[in-house]
Chain A
Amino acid sequence: MYGLLGFFILALFHLVGVWLQHNGNIPLPGNVIGLLLFLAALYMRIVRLEWVEQAAQFLLKHMLLFFIPYVVGIIAFAPLLGEHWFSILVGIGGSTTAVLLTTAWSARRWKSQPLMDATQAQQSFSSPTNKREERML
């Protein structure tokens, strides 16, 4: 029921984003501006989740499909890529691996523990029964 309305809303936000990019001199692509505006609209309850959920789920499920033409388009650059294949492969592969590991490592390093665990840990630390258990271990 809400499927088509969802598509309309998503396309509308994309359109506004692209328009703002071209007329507002914002150094971000239109789709990211559209995403930020769409998030703001969801937070302010201008757009309700149930209106867009079905359409969003469909588009996100098949997001890889929309990238296929770009990947096929790489062949236009085949001669240049073939000539510099080694430095391109090492540059992209090495740098992407480094970014993946650094981001994942720092996310885990600074991850804050859920509040529940902190209070539980404190309780277990101060409670005498647990202390006894600890000593036994």
Chain B
Amino acid sequence: MTFSELLLIITGIAATIGAYLLARYVQGRYPSFHPILISAGLLIAVIIAADIPLEAYSAGGEWLSMLLGPATVALGVPIYKHREQIAKQLKPIIISIVCGSTLGIVSVAFMLWLLTDSQAIILSMLPKSVSSPISIEITKVLQGVPELAAVFSVCTGLFGSVFGITILHKFGFRDDMSIGLAMGTAAHGIGTARCLANSEEQGSFSGLAMGLAGVITSILFVPIYMWLIP
């Protein structure tokens, strides 16, 4: 690693943390702004305005997203802390995640079948409700475009994280269990991160739903593989 590469990495990390801190500060004063929209929007604006190649930013950014692995493992702590409550509600947890995950695949297939004729987009968007590492693997087997699947997963998480709680509140869902399970099933890690900002209990249900939805969605795709690939 040369000195200039090292400098690039440090700059990328520092810029991301700086944008994040600024976004948290703005959110503190205006709670309706979502921190990820502010920080990512700011970074994108700088990258486009200064004509910085994306690879130059990603060199540092990748180091930060590596912490996502230990952070996902850390979800075990709130899940373990609320284990008794989770054990008591195991039936609604399983039923709701299976219903949500199934509808996630079916609704995308139906809507895109009406809207577009691009096979690549349809196949890559089918597993959009699970986090990108899972959606990438599923899309590879479906012979879609893995990079596109990752982008759709992030877009889905972003949509759920930004609008999810507002939508659920509008339809009268206010308890931590319903909100947590819905956010984790629909918007995986980004939705879970949003729930954790609300309450630890909501975050634990969301983290559990995220993990289970990943497992359940992977299983749901097995018959689809058999149908698509004879």
- Within the complex, which residue of B101, B152, B190, B192 is in contact with A92, where a contact is CB–CB below 8 Å? B152
- Within the complex, which residue of B111, B181, B189 is in contact with A104, where a contact is CB–CB below 8 Å? B181
Interface contact B80-A43, CB-CB below 8 Å: yes
Interface contact B118-A67, CB-CB below 8 Å: no
Residue A60 at the B interface, CB < 8 A? yes
Interface of B is mostly: helix
Residue A123 at the B interface, CB < 8 A? no
Shortest CB-to-CB span from B221 to chain A, Å, is 9
Instruction: Write out the residue numbers on chain A whose beta carbons fall within 8 Å of the beta carbon of B64.
Output: 65-66, 68-69
Instruction: Write out the residue numbers on chain B whose beta carbons fall within 8 Å of the beta carbon of A66.
Output: 64-65, 67-68, 71
Residue A57 at the B interface, CB < 8 A? yes
Residue B209 at the A interface, CB < 8 A? yes
Interface contact B99-A68, CB-CB below 8 Å: no
Instruction: Write out the residue numbers on chain A whose beta carbons fall within 8 Å of the beta carbon of B8.
Output: none
Closest chain A residue, CB of each to CB of B60: A69
Given known contacts A56-B74, A76-B54, A103 and B181 CB-to-CB distance under 8 angstroms: yes
Interface contact B133-A31, CB-CB below 8 Å: yes
Closest chain A residue, CB of each to CB of B157: A67
Residue B26 at the A interface, CB < 8 A? no
Interface contact B95-A106, CB-CB below 8 Å: yes
Instruction: Write out the residue numbers on chain B whose beta carbons fall within 8 Å of the beta carbon of A110.
Output: 91-92, 95-96
Residue A64 at the B interface, CB < 8 A? yes
Interface contact B171-A72, CB-CB below 8 Å: no
CA distance A65 to B65 in the complex (A): 8
Total interface residues on B, CB under 8 Å, equals: 106
Interface contact A70-B80, CB-CB below 8 Å: no
Shortest CB-to-CB span from A4 to chain B, Å, is 12
Interface contact A28-B214, CB-CB below 8 Å: yes
Instruction: Write out the residue numbers on chain B whose beta carbons fall within 8 Å of the beta carbon of A98.
Output: 103-104, 107
Given known contacts A66-B67, A110-B95, A112-B92, A14 and B154 CB-to-CB distance under 8 angstroms: no
- Within the complex, which residue of B61, B76, B91, B157 is in contact with A38, where a contact is CB–CB below 8 Å? B76
Instruction: Write out the residue numbers on chain A whose beta carbons fall within 8 Å of the beta carbon of B155.
Output: 74, 88, 92
Interface contact B190-A31, CB-CB below 8 Å: no
Instruction: Write out the residue numbers on chain A whose beta carbons fall within 8 Å of the beta carbon of B177.
Output: 107, 111
Shortest CB-to-CB span from B130 to chain A, Å, is 9
Instruction: Write out the residue numbers on chain B whose beta carbons fall within 8 Å of the beta carbon of A35.
Output: 72-73, 75-76, 211
CA distance A29 to B189 in the complex (A): 13
Shortest CB-to-CB span from B94 to chain A, Å, is 9
Q: Which residues of B contact A (CB under 8 A)?
A: 16-17, 19-20, 35-36, 39-40, 43-44, 47-48, 54, 57-58, 61-62, 64-65, 67-81, 83, 88-89, 91-93, 95-97, 99-101, 103-104, 107-108, 111-112, 115-116, 118, 121, 125, 128-129, 131-134, 137, 147-148, 150-152, 154-161, 163-164, 167-168, 171, 173, 175, 177-179, 181-183, 185-187, 189-190, 192-194, 196-197, 203, 209, 211, 214-215, 218
A-B CB contact pairs (8 Å), 30 listed:
A7-B70, A28-B218, A32-B133, A35-B76, A52-B74, A56-B74, A56-B76, A60-B196, A65-B20, A66-B65, A67-B154, A68-B19, A69-B58, A71-B36, A72-B44, A73-B58, A74-B151, A87-B111, A87-B112, A90-B111, A91-B108, A91-B112, A91-B125, A92-B159, A95-B129, A98-B103, A101-B171, A103-B178, A103-B181, A104-B96
Nearest 7 pairs between A and B by C-beta? A69-B61, A29-B133, A103-B100, A56-B74, A87-B115, A110-B92, A31-B72
